[in-house]
Structure 1
Amino acid sequence: LIVGDDIAYLRMWEDGYTHAVNIEKGIFGIIKDVNPKNDPVIYEALITPRELIYSNVLIKNGKPYWLGMGKDHPKEGFNYSGNWFEGKTDENGNNILHAHPNARYTINLTDLSNCDPKLEDPNGVPIHGILYGGRDSDTMPPVVESLSWEYGIFMGATIESETTSATLGAVGVRKASPMANLDFLVVPLGKYLKNHRKFGNRLKYCPKVFSTNYFLKGKDGKYLNGMLDKKIWVIWAEGRTQGDFDAIETPIGYLPKYDDLKALFKLELDKDYSQEDYTEQFK
């Protein structure tokens, strides 16, 4: 269940934990590659009647079409370029796609079937784990737990992410992205990190910290993670906060054990997870 998909306010609470409260009413996200296989909950919300906003998609007979939605699109319609037809080019002779790679959707959080009943609870929810997500194709494993709160700050501060269609400039350029939150920092980075350390040290029950990377690729350039595999990494992280799983201590942090991941993949996704996959992702 979710209480938000983006920004949260965290503060110390009287029970010794940090609590998080969602401050947003809806979701504003990239719609490219949202399809029934990879994002079934969001996809269902987008194709059923409700109040929502599309931007930069193709419209034909009142129906929206976007890149990677898993169905054929019309050969003509209306999009960000105006009246569109297959084969249309811009002033430089470049082909205009039927929808923009940075096309977006906006919906209410309550439209999602997995919305948490505590969405509007002013007391928020206690936080047992914090995940910092990077985007790199060849370095970090899918999930790793920090060795301590201080080391978790280091992990978050050293995250690197490759640029996407959601950013200006070339795609695939690796940039430093502290806490995956650089665009939203309102104080100098050094002060921000010091505040993190002080905050964690004041808590009676400090959250565990994890680093995730859903974008690891093999030598053939293909992703090693399926879109739904992130569910396994999150369940493992949640289990670690509850003492459900052992882990392998390494210099970069605690890594999952193969047998635990194999069982989770079978239970949650009915998917066989091989030793070869594990070795390539966590080597």
Structure 2
Amino acid sequence: MNQKRITDILNVRLGKENYQKLMRINNPKLHQFIAKYVRLCNPAKVFICTDSPEDIQYIREAAIRNKEEAKLAIEGHTVHFDGYYDQARDKENTKYLVPKGVNLGAEINTMDREEGIKEINDILKNIMAGRELYVKFFCLGPTNSKFSIPCVQLTDSSYVAHSEDLLYRQGYEEFVRLGNYKRFFKFLHSQGELTEAGLGLRVSKNIEKRRIYIDLQDEII
């Protein structure tokens, strides 16, 4: 995908405000990654989350609007439930994608990289249709440091997006600072088809399609 095509996709799909937020980050590799999966997953809207309290609050409130969380009696407190069969880690479907001939040992679950990418892309096609895609930036380790590890998360789950605020430092301004920095970790997540559960909340339905694939070459999970 050439740069003009990437720019056209982002300009149309993000809208003026979110496009301007993203363009503050002078990183063509990041732009290409986002454009590729916006096109593949086909969300109705895309929200670029900066480090501002307003953007962070927008996603917290979206978790209520989207019925991923329900309010509790104490102001600002919410509850979230995963599906009955969507508990703990899925060891069987967690795999490292490696080129042919690469062996990481008997204890590590691996899969041919080309085969894995084809399978996951088939699952991801139009998976976010009708939903909002949240683009979140984080930093593993301290910001403004040689130990900074920038990360970007694409997800249609507002619950996932804002829960990660508890785990990692906000990283939008770190991406702006780093500019055309070649190495950053990339995470792509979708809830898939949803079904109604207790308290009117919605949870993932097709657990048999759950995949956690780790592409070591492109550093994407």
**Same fold, TM-score > 0.5, yes or no:** no
What's the TM-score, normalizing by structure 2?
A: 0.25
Which of the pair is proportionally richer in helix? 2
Question: Which has the bigger relative contact order, CA under 8 A and spacing at least 6?
Answer: 2
State which structure, 1 or 2, has the greater radius of gyration over its C-alpha atoms. Answer: 1
